[in-house]
Chains A and B, each alone.
Chain A
Amino acid sequence: MNHAMINSASGVRAMQLRVDTIANNLANSDTVGFKSSDTTFAAMLTRNLNNQPYTEYEQGRQTPYGIRPGFGAKEALQVVDYKQGAMKQTDSPTDLFLQGEEAFFRVQRAGVNGRPNETYFTRAGNFSTLPTANGQLALLTAQGDAVMDTAGRPVQIPSNATNFTVNKDGQIVYRLNGVETQGQRIGIYTVQNLNILNPAGENYYRIPVEQIGGNAQWTDYARLANGGATLPDGVGIQQKALEASNVDLRKEMTMLIEAQRSLQFNARAISYNDQMSDITNRIYKG
């Protein structure tokens, strides 16, 4: 029935997870469009042991009978902080900064081995162009996945287009043979409930429709913001700029110290528990 060791081990594990999260944040302190995350904890199972159910032995006791030891801590949530990162000016016309914390670019990753295409969302606007087979230039993310327009098609521009510009509402304008031409409009999607987004790595997020269950579609949770005439308040695209990582180094370092100390305390508790076991072993001297 001694669970002191289990308690301390769960404490070490929980704190280790926070240290891991902080390390990931620090590693991405200069990643375009990166959102920092944090780990929060909850107390674990508490058991109700019925000790001494005889009222005559519980003289003067006022709390409800029984004894309720807890079994350590667990991680409760991995929360992503979607706060807007600072704007960083660049010279590349395909660098797009997305304004509004709830706004995302839609990205399509081609399914491999016959699987359907996957829809992801990202805030990293460090795009580039790549010539395609049909003489066009495709707008791709840094990972090489297609950026989608408002109608759900991959964004492409003619390869001989010049003066590539993107307006605030995502409308692409370029000059083709000396004539100003309107191209596709880059899709901006807003997600009302950022809590349901799942970080999918590489600065991508996805809506876990299979976890939500039912006939959930990602379109139930992400809405096209620039399909109509007006954009929602505070949402828009700024060309030739990027969103810096929103990791706050001072906050992360403070949290790291705190998490490390908590980890040390729990590790020390393990060593204390070991000492107690040693004392128990020394009862019998042979």
Chain B
Amino acid sequence: MLRGLDAAASGMIANQARQDALTNNLANVNTPGYKTDNAAFRSFPEVLIERIRDTGGGAMEGLGAKQVLGQITHGVYNQELVPNFAQGDAYETEDPLNFSLEDGMLAPQVIDGRSVQPRTFFKVQKPGENGGAPEIFYTRSGNWKMNAAGYLATPEGYQVLDANNQPINVRALLGTQPLSKKTLVVTPQGQLTAPLSPGSQPVQLGLVRVDNPALTMVKEADTTFRYTGAGQPVAFNPVRDTAVSIRQGYLERSNVDAGRTMMDMMNVIRSYEANQKVLSAYDTTLQKLAEVARV
């Protein structure tokens, strides 16, 4: 049959998958801590094609040996969505419980011969599903609030963890002081202190450093990531990771580039259309064939 028919269809399906990723990026253009997904296409595995009963171009004298014609692929598919962990800009919110992580100056690491930029993440704890043990997730979105019980929590209600994986009790830290940027101060190293509450113990925000985030961090709901690498991510070390700083009253903007995304969408549509045209062309060919056969 016509081999290109499937290839054209697979091209359309792959472009549709890319469009799904692009629209998701665009919808999250204002989501703090969101990381752009890039779709990576991959061709189907190559197959060898051979001509059987090869006559060598000569007269039909018996059946020749089969001859290798070459390799062909039958199309393309959307292999993976790779998040781009580039730093988003910080914007000021003046909320004492908004934090942005700035780690663009961390020294790049060489992993498998490639230079990658390490990233730091906040630790949050999600309750286990169906009564299971709570799980630790990682996020770049420091958009938090103090819940009714006095704990630091994400908008979805997940507790933010300190360096010892314990929930952070802001009320215990503040004592009787009201919550404001004067009463709760965060050092650039992520230490929560209450300067106006005598006797309160500072709490270190739970931070981890992931050397190769694109290959080990997997997206989950609510702008969080799951760590899939070996063991546990390395804890943030203020002595070693001096290039990391935490800013209070700021949030990290989404790193989606709206203009670029719109342009990519136009590309996708045209590519989708081109594949459709090929498909239609095959259809016309088949139609002609059917007409010939009718005679």
Q: A residues engaging B (CB < 8 A)?
A: 2-5, 7-8, 10-11, 14-15, 18, 38, 40-46, 48, 51-52, 56-59, 61-64, 66-73, 76-77, 79, 81, 83, 101-102, 190-196, 211-212, 216, 221, 223, 232, 258-259, 261-262, 265-266, 268-269, 272-273, 275-276, 279-280, 282-285
Contacts and interface: CB of A to CB of B under 8 A. Distances in A.
B145 A73 contact: no
B143 A2 contact: no
A43 B19 contact: no
A10 B179 CA distance: 33
B178 A280 contact: no
18 contacts: A38-B93, A41-B31, A44-B222, A46-B221, A52-B79, A61-B42, A63-B80, A69-B81, A70-B28, A72-B27, A73-B28, A76-B143, A77-B145, A195-B147, A196-B147, A211-B148, A259-B30, A273-B19
Contacts, number: 208
B285 interface: no
Contacts of A3: 20, 23
B7 interface: no
B26 A68 contact: no
B179 A193 contact: yes
Residue with the highest number of chain A CB atoms closer than 10 Å, among B32, B174, B178, B272: B178
A192 B178 contact: yes
A183 to B, nearest CB: 28
Interface string B79-121: 1111000000000011101000000000000001000000000
Nearest to A10: B27
Contacts of B34: 43, 73
A41 B262 contact: no
B235 interface: no
Nearest to A80: B95
A64 B280 contact: no
Contacts of B180: 101-102
Interface string B5-42: 00000001000110111111011111110100100001
Given A101-B178, A193-B148, 11 more contacts: A4-B19, A14-B27, A40-B143, A41-B30, A70-B24, A83-B94, A194-B178, A211-B148, A232-B178, A273-B19, A285-B283
Interface of B: 12, 16-17, 19-24, 26-32, 34, 37, 42, 44-45, 77-82, 93-95, 97, 112, 141, 143, 145-148, 150, 155-156, 170-171, 174, 176-180, 214-216, 218-223, 228, 251, 258, 261-262, 265-266, 268-269, 272-273, 276, 279-280, 283
A219 to B, nearest CB: 14
Contacts of A193: 146, 148, 150, 170-171, 179
Given A7-B20, A64-B218, A79 B95 contact: yes
Contact of B20 (A2, A43, A232, A266): A2
Given A45-B221, A70-B24, A279 B80 contact: no
Contacts of A194: 178-179
B29 A262 contact: yes
Contact of B228 (A18, A52, A64): A64
Interface of chain B: mostly helix, strand, loop or mixed: mixed
Nearest to B153: A195
Contacts of A223: 176
The CB with the most chain A CB atoms within 10 A, among B148, B155, B269, is that of: B148
Contact of B218 (A62, A68, A192): A68
B26 A266 contact: yes
A172 to B, nearest CB: 25
Nearest to A262: B29
B215 A63 contact: yes
A232 B147 CA distance: 23
Contacts of A268: 262
Nearest to B29: A262
Contacts of B269: 272, 275-276, 279
B283 A41 contact: no
B27 to A, nearest CB: 3
Given A8-B26, A46-B219, A61 B80 contact: yes
B146 A41 contact: no
A232 B176 CA distance: 10
Nearest to B28: A73
B30 A61 contact: no
A57 B262 CA distance: 31
Given A43-B28, A76-B156, A102-B180, A279 B215 contact: no
B46 to A, nearest CB: 10
A4 B28 contact: no
A56 B45 CA distance: 9
A102 B178 contact: yes
Contacts of A61: 42, 79-80
